[in-house]
Amino acid sequence: MAPMKLYGATVSWNVTRCVVALEEAGAEYQIVPIDFATAEHKSPEHLARNPFGQVPAFQDGDLHLWGTYATHMILYLLVSLCKYDSIVVFTPAIIYIYIYMHHKNGMFFFLSESRAICKYVARKNKAAELLREGNLQESAMVDVWLEVESNQYTAALNPILYECLVSPMFGGTTDQKVVEENLEKLKKVLEVYEARLAKHKYLAGDFLSLADLNHVSVTLCLLATPHASVLNAYPHVKAWWDGLMARPSVQKVAALMKPSA
């Protein structure tokens, strides 16, 4: 069986979100770098995987589909490309789902949008464990916290990460007002997390799920900013995060996200 393929750069928190899921699921996979400096993301080969010329993109050649289907979820515009000291940092401008199913050698499965990729990997490999499928109430709580991660936690973090990590790479300055405003939003979110984690070991309940794992890549980026200590004010959140950091899958992603010297 051919390995799954994940296309993108491991300094992208959207790409490494998928790596956490792949590692935790024990999936066989291959990371295929995309060179934005040479416009590889606009090549016919990559546009066949992703018509917007973005990353991540994902291929599982073992899944054969029989129709065509495309859904576009335009959620936010953050930044498209940043190059600094030969390190390419990329965050997709458009978050979307695209399933592309035609290939000259047959029918292949392509999926882009990191959270959709994570769900697919979990469903294929560890649906019962990571999504709690088979238990209606538990799976509903996983869904709730997957939405919270995307629409509350990461929504507050994205402007902070942009101002503290990405903007300086363009030669820009950090807008402290934007940072402070979104830190306040993040703290309000963390208050909810603290109350939840005071009662449960993990977000969806007393079991690890994809809802927890989807927080990893952006939180690792937060730790690279001057505001890493924000988690320390929430002891249950900090204990939850320390537990995640002890997992081999998270340690691997943390190593992947460190730029080469």
Q: Return the domain boundaries, the chain.
A: 4-129, 132-251
Q: pLDDT tens, 14-68?
A: 888 999 999 999 999 998 888 877 888 888 888 877 777 777 888 887 542 221 2
Do 4-129 and 132-251 agree at the fold level?
Answer: no
- 145-177 burial by CB neighbour count: b if 16+ within 10 A, else e? bbebbeebbbbbbbbbbbbbbbbeeeeeebeee
Domain 132-251, second-level architecture: Up-down Bundle (1.20)
Please report which confidence band the pLDDT of residue 259 belongs to, taking 50, 70 and 90 as the band edges.
low
Q: pLDDT tens, 59-104?
A: 887 542 221 222 222 222 222 222 333 222 223 322 222 222 223 2
Class of domain 4-129: alpha beta
**Rounded CA separation 62/217 (Å):** 27
Phi and psi (nearest 5°) for 137? Answer: -70, -45
**Rounded to the nearest 5 degrees, what angle is found at the Cα of 203, between the Cα atoms of 198 and 209?**
145
**Rounded CA separation 248/138 (Å):** 25
**Rounded CA separation 47/36 (Å):** 13
Output the pLDDT for position 170: 76
DSSP element (H, E) containing 98: strand 97-100
Q: pLDDT tens, 97-145?
A: 222 222 323 333 444 478 888 999 999 988 889 999 999 999 999 999 9
**Rounded CA separation 256/140 (Å):** 32
**Rounded CA separation 21/123 (Å):** 11
* Residue 152: both structure tokens together: 């509350």
**Rounded to the nearest 5 degrees, what angle is found at the Cα of 106, between the Cα atoms of 97 and 96?**
5
Alpha helix (H) ranges present in the chain? 13-25, 44-49, 114-126, 136-148, 154-161, 176-197, 210-213, 216-222, 235-245, 248-256
* Residue 135: both structure tokens together: 């238990």
The CA-atom distances, in angstroms, between 31 and each of 28, 119, 217, 229, 245 are 10, 18, 16, 32, 22
Residue of 2 and 220 predicted with greater confidence: 220
CB 130 within 8 A of CB 143: no
